[in-house]
């Protein structure tokens, strides 16, 4: 083990003892003579795996997962003939998988997932006749699946997802007559050709088949009719053709999840009849999710859809050619919470039966040909959180009943034929974050109640209507909104300076109105404003200097007004052309193509002569001594050049971020020379110290390791960039930075209540210092902050390291997400991103960075792989389970083997009582539970368990979005504070909860229970 190094804080402890069998992570046989179990997972170990391990000839279990091992797997491991379990997952191992593993005839579990292995899968693995579990996912493996794997008659679990595997699928692997495969994941590879399962192929034990995101083509395999135990089938994002497999699906009576989206399937009778397929689904009494989006399916939506499983919670028929009316019997699906029928050819009116769906939370009907009025009965859907009926032919007025929707977050009514006025009652939608009423025929003024919606976070769009009057001053309350578009209306009077209070604004469009008077200076001071358009108005006066001085403004349009004055091509104006100033005849300046300003030369000459007569004698008296002193000081200045060069990077960064200057010396004084007594935390990239500045400001100083390699330097720049451009009440704010070639630090406010980690596991005792109300509130804060990063932030961010130690608590116990050192910056493909569209995210390469901390890492990551918002959802799910279980996820792995998700899932649903009772006792240090409160706490804990299991599902596509998670936790928070307003009981839990559909997959990972 001499080739292994470790973090000083995670030393081997008792490994200095002469009795090897007492060493941590070592288990010997009953006689105490032979080491049979070596479990050193998640110990922050580094280095290479030594070939000396081959001397442990009786080793049965080798678990080095979740560390930082690099290099190759030593071929000598093949000499350990007694090995039954090898787990080297989530390291940095590379190279080829050694074919010497073929000698391990007792091997049952082989887990090498989440590394950098490349090359081909060794065909020799096919001779390990005892293998039951193979997990090689999230590597760089390529080529074909070796045909020799067909000899693995004991194989139960095969996961080769997220590699670079190509070629046809080797069906001999699964059709060898005795196959016991239950879980098969070949998703996210590059497999081609048809799925060649012959009719004699028997996959009778198969419960989950994941083939999504490949290049498969041809018809749906007929042999799957033998897979009567199938529960989850996902073939999305391929090129499969033919009619929808009605006869085959009808035999899958246990089916819970059916994903056939984004293929080339057609409906029956020449793509005109959907009825046979929906009739076949009637046999699937456990179906909870159905996704047929993106197939261009034709035909009407049959009324028989109302006979499907009442457990059905999610239907996605987006992007097809379905026509005709929405069938009223759809209201029989009483557990539907997500219904997507957008981008079709639906017509007729919105059926009132939809409003009988009491569990409906998201309704997407956009881009159809629906007509008639917007029914006021929408206000009777209590949990409706998102409504999109844009791009239809709806007419009439906006109903007042939207005010009843206390959970409404998004309301998209744009591009219809709506008329009347904006109902002031919309101002009662206190959770509304998106409001788009653009491209209608709405008239009247903007109600002050609607203008005062401080909850708006993304955008307010009232453009292209017939609105008139002034901009209400209440608009200043929208301090979190990112975009406001009031263009193409008849708004008049002056532009209020109070718009400068909308501090988060990035885009402001007031063009094509009748605004007059000067442009307020305050708008140019908006520090995040990027786009500003006031063209085609009647504005006068000079363009404020603040516009030109802005460091963020990139796109400006002042054209067709009556502005006057001199325009220079400096600052934010340097990239503008004369097109941004057309139609302003009184403007002149240095912009190319603009009229030059003429100066009164006679007047200027006279002023110059007078000044010279005054300045000359003054200089003779006082200036010469100053000049002489300057020459004497010039020599000493030379010796300071080195220090100036060292501070150039700091000054450049500081100029960009615009934060106060705190010198290196001040940080040394504040932290007592970075004394160990002020150390409050350590991590992969450095240490965190607490300190007090001279003005008594308490700070936390995150100092990066002085041996800053490219990875650490990138971490510093990335964290600065994220902290600079994101702002939310649940995200940590930066005070300043200190950057020199030999020293890099980020200065943050010191959180008086420390981290969630310290309060969950206090050093002085066993009990948590937080009660359940506080814990739910903290989780709600975290989810809100993360939802902002994923969906609303100026730059979309994937945190990648969400865990209790990175959640800080201020004076009021408000939670703030911190530590963005390994976060990923995400570019969004479109301006508006669907909350369920993970494909819309594209990430920059961050190879070499760990996507999180052990125990919280999403299984699809592996080390250094691409991150996604679903990975953060997984980490938050682990946190929820950790709070309920009162145990660190690493403790479960060390002592009991499975992940925290697996451990809780094995207790669900019939063996949860001990966990719930323990959680109630543990989470009541500060609150005395009354008899009638016990049930409330029990319900919330059960909801936390279910939500945690949903968020930690193996397949990222089946996890909810962070918006959904935030909504669910906020609902639980509301229930704790006002139980009478939100009833949750064992009989109604599945009907009220937002994620009932996703619980259908909870048994997918139970396939290999016991391993």
Could you give the angle at which helices 889-896 and 869-885 cross, rounded to 10 degrees? 70
Q: How far is CA 877 from CA 618, 858, 904, in A?
A: 75, 10, 12
Q: Are 53 and 28 in contact (CB under 8 A)?
A: no
Q: How many other β-carbons are positioned within 10 Å of the β-carbon of residue 728?
A: 21
Q: Are 691 and 678 in contact (CB under 8 A)?
A: yes
Find the Cα–Cα–Cα–Cα dihedral 83, 89, 92, 97, rounded to 10°.
Answer: 50
> Among the options 111, 801, 819, 939, which is catalytic?
801
Task: Kindly state the DSSP code that residue 126 receives in the 8-state scheme.
Answer: G
Q: Are 824 and 798 in contact (CB under 8 A)?
A: yes
Give every CB contact of residue 19 below 8 A, 6+ residues apart in sequence. Answer: none
Give every CB contact of residue 562 below 8 A, 6+ residues apart in sequence. Answer: 538, 539, 540, 584, 585, 586
Cα(717)–Cα(685) distance, integer angstroms? 13
- The rounded Cα 742 to chain-centroid distance in angstroms is 34
Q: How far is CA 41 from CA 95, 687, 864, 892, 1001, in A?
A: 21, 23, 18, 11, 28
Q: Nearest to residue 658, comparing CAs of 820, 825, 527, 481?
A: 527
Q: What is the radius of gyration, based on Cα positions, of the chain?
A: 32
Q: Nearest to residue 524, comparing CAs of 553, 498, 502, 504?
A: 553
Find the Cα–Cα–Cα–Cα dihedral 64, 69, 71, 72, rounded to 10°.
Answer: 10
Cα(224)–Cα(228) distance, integer angstroms? 8
Q: How far is CA 552 from CA 242, 507, 526, 901, in A?
A: 52, 11, 9, 44
Cα(704)–Cα(720) distance, integer angstroms? 13
Give φ, ψ of 971 to 5 degrees: -65, -40
Tell me whether residue 801 is one of the annotated catalytic residues. Answer: yes
CA max distance for the chain: 109
Q: Are 1004 and 207 in contact (CB under 8 A)?
A: yes
Pairing relationship of beta strands 314-316 and 298-300 according to DSSP bridges: unpaired
Q: Nearest to residue 296, comparing CAs of 370, 222, 244?
A: 244
Cα(328)–Cα(95) distance, integer angstroms? 59
What is the number of alpha carbons within 13 Å of residue 513 lying toward its C-beta? 30
Could you give the angle at which helices 962-977 and 772-787 cross, rounded to 10 degrees? 150
Q: Are 551 and 656 in contact (CB under 8 A)?
A: yes
What are the residues facing 339 on neighbouring strands?
Answer: 315, 363
Sign of the dihedral through C-alpha 484, 487, 491, 494: positive
Cα(82)–Cα(56) distance, integer angstroms? 10
Q: Are 1001 and 958 in contact (CB under 8 A)?
A: yes
Could you give the angle at which helices 931-951 and 869-885 cross, rounded to 10 degrees? 140
Cα(690)–Cα(66) distance, integer angstroms? 30
Under DSSP, is residue 956 helix (H, G, I), strand (E, B) or coil?
A: helix
Q: Is 702 annotated as a binding residue?
A: yes
What are the residues facing 234 on neighbouring strands?
Answer: 210, 259
DSSP states of 745-785: EEEEEPPTT-BHHHHHS-TT-SS-SS-HHHHHHHHHHHHHH
- For residue 931, the surrounding DSSP H or E stretch is helix 931-951
Active site residues: 801
Residues in binding site for ATP: 702
């Amino acid at each position: 083990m001499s080739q292994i190094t470790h973090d000083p804080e995670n030393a081997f402890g008792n490994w200095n003892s002469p009795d090897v069998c007492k060493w941590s992570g070592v288990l010997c046989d009953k006689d105490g003579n032979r080491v049979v179990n070596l479990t050193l997972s998640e110990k922050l170990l580094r280095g290479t795996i030594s070939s000396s391990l081959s001397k442990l000839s009786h080793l049965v279990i080798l678990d080095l997962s979740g560390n930082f091992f690099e290099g190759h797997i030593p071929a000598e491991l093949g000499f350990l003939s007694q090995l039954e379990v090898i787990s080297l997952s989530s390291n940095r191992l590379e190279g080829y998988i050694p074919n010497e593993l073929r000698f391990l005839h007792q091997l049952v579990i082989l887990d090498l997932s989440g590394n950098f292995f490349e090359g081909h899968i060794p065909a020799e693995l096919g001779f390990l006749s005892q293998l039951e579990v193979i997990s090689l996912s999230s590597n760089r493996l390529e080529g074909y699946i070796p045909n020799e794997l067909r000899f693995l008659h004991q194989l139960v679990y095969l996961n080769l997802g997220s590699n670079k595997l190509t070629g046809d699928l080797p069906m001999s692997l699964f059709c060898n007559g005795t196959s016991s495969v239950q879980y098969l994941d070949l998703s996210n590879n590059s497999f081609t050709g048809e799925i060649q399962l012959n009719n004699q192929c028997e996959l009778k034990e198969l419960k989950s088949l994941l083939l999504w995101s490949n290049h498969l083509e041809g018809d749906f395999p007929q042999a799957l009719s033998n897979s009567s135990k199938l529960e989850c089938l996902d073939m999305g994002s391929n090129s499969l053709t033919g009619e929808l497999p009605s006869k085959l699906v009808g035999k899958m009576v246990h089916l819970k999840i059916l994903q056939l989206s984004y293929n080339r399937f057609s409906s029956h009778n020449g793509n005109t009849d959907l009825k046979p397929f929906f009739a076949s689904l009637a046999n699937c009494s456990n179906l909870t999710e159905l996704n047929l989006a993106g197939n261009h399916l034709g035909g009407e939506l049959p009324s028989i859809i109302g006979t499907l499983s009442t457990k059905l919670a999610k239907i996605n028929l987006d992007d097809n050619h379905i026509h005709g009316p929405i069938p009223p019997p759809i209201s029989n699906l009483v557990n539907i919470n997500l219904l997507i029928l957008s981008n079709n050819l639906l017509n007729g009116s919105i059926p009132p039966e939809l409003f009988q769906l009491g569990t409906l939370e998201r309704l997407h009907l956009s881009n159809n040909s629906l007509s008639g009025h917007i029914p006021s009965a929408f206000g009777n859907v209590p949990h409706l959180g998102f409504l999109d009926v844009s791009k239809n032919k709806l007419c009439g007025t906006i109903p007042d009943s939207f005010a009843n929707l206390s959970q409404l977050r998004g309301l998209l009514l744009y591009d219809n034929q709506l008329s009347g006025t904006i109902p002031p009652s919309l101002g009662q939608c206190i959770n509304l974050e998106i409001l788009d009423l653009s491209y209608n025929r709405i008239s009247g003024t903007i109600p002050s109640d609607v203008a005062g919606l401080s909850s708006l976070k993304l955008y307010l769009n009232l453009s292209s209507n017939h609105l008139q009057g002034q901009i209400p001053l209440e608009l200043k309350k929208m301090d979190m909104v990112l975009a406001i578009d009031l263009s193409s209306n008849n708004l008049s009077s002056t532009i209020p300076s109070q718009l400068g209070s909308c501090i988060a604004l990035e885009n402001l469009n007031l063009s094509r109105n009748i605004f007059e008077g000067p442009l307020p200076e305050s708008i140019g001071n908006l520090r995040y404003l990027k786009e500003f358009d006031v063209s085609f108005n009647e504005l006068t006066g000079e363009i404020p200097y603040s516009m030109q001085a802005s460091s963020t403004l990139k796109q400006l349009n002042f054209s067709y007004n009556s502005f006057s004055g001199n325009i220079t091509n400096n600052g934010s104006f340097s990239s503008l052309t004369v097109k941004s100033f057309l139609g302003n005849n009184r403007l002149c300046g240095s912009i190319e193509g603009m009229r030059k300003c003429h100066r009164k030369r006679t007047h200027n000459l006279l002023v110059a002569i007078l000044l010279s007569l005054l300045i000359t004698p003054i200089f003779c008296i006082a200036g010469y001594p100053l000049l002489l002193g300057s020459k004497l000081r010039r020599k000493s200045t030379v010796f300071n050049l080195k220090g100036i060069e060292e501070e150039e990077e700091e000054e450049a960064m500081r100029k960009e971020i615009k934060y106060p200057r705190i010198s290196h010396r001040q940080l040394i004084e504040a932290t007592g020379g970075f004394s160990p007594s002020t150390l409050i935390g350590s991590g992969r990239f450095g240490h965190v110290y607490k300190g007090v500045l001279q003005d008594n400001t308490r700070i936390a100083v995150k100092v990066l390791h002085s041996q800053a390699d490219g990875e650490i330097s990138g971490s510093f720049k990335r964290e600065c960039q994220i902290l600079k451009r994101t702002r939310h009440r649940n995200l940590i704010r930066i005070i300043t930075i200190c950057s020199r070639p030999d020293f890099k630090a980020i200065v943050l406010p010191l959180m008086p209540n420390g981290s969630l980690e310290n309060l969950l596991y206090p050093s002085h005792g066993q009990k948590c210092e937080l009660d359940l109300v506080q814990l739910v509130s903290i989780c709600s804060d975290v989810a809100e902050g993360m939802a902002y990063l994923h969906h609303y932030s100026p730059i979309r961010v994937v945190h990648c390291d969400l865990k209790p130690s990175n959640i800080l608590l201020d004076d009021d116990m408000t939670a703030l997400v911190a530590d963005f050192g390994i976060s990923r910056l995400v570019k969004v493909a479109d301006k508006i991103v669907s909350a369920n569209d993970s494909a819309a995210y594209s990430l920059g390469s961050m190879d070499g960075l760990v996507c999180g901390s052990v125990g919280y890492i999403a299984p699809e990551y592996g080390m250094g792989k691409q991150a996604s918002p679903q990975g953060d959802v997984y980490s938050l799910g682990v946190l929820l389970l950790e709070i309920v279980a009162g145990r660190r996820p690493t403790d479960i792995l060390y002592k009991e083997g499975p992940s925290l998700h697996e451990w809780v899932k094995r207790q669900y649903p019939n063996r949860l009582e001990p966990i719930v009772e323990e959680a109630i006792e543990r989470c009541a240090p500060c609150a005395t539970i009354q008899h009638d409160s016990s049930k409330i706490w029990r319900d919330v804990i059960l909801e936390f368990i279910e939500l945690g299991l949903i968020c930690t599902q193996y397949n990222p596509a089946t996890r909810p979005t962070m918006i959904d998670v935030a909504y669910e936790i906020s609902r639980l928070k509301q229930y704790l504070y006002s139980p009478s307003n939100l009833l949750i009981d064992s009989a109604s839990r599945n009907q009220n909860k937002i994620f009932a559909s996703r619980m259908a997959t909870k048994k997918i990972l139970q396939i290999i229970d016991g391993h």
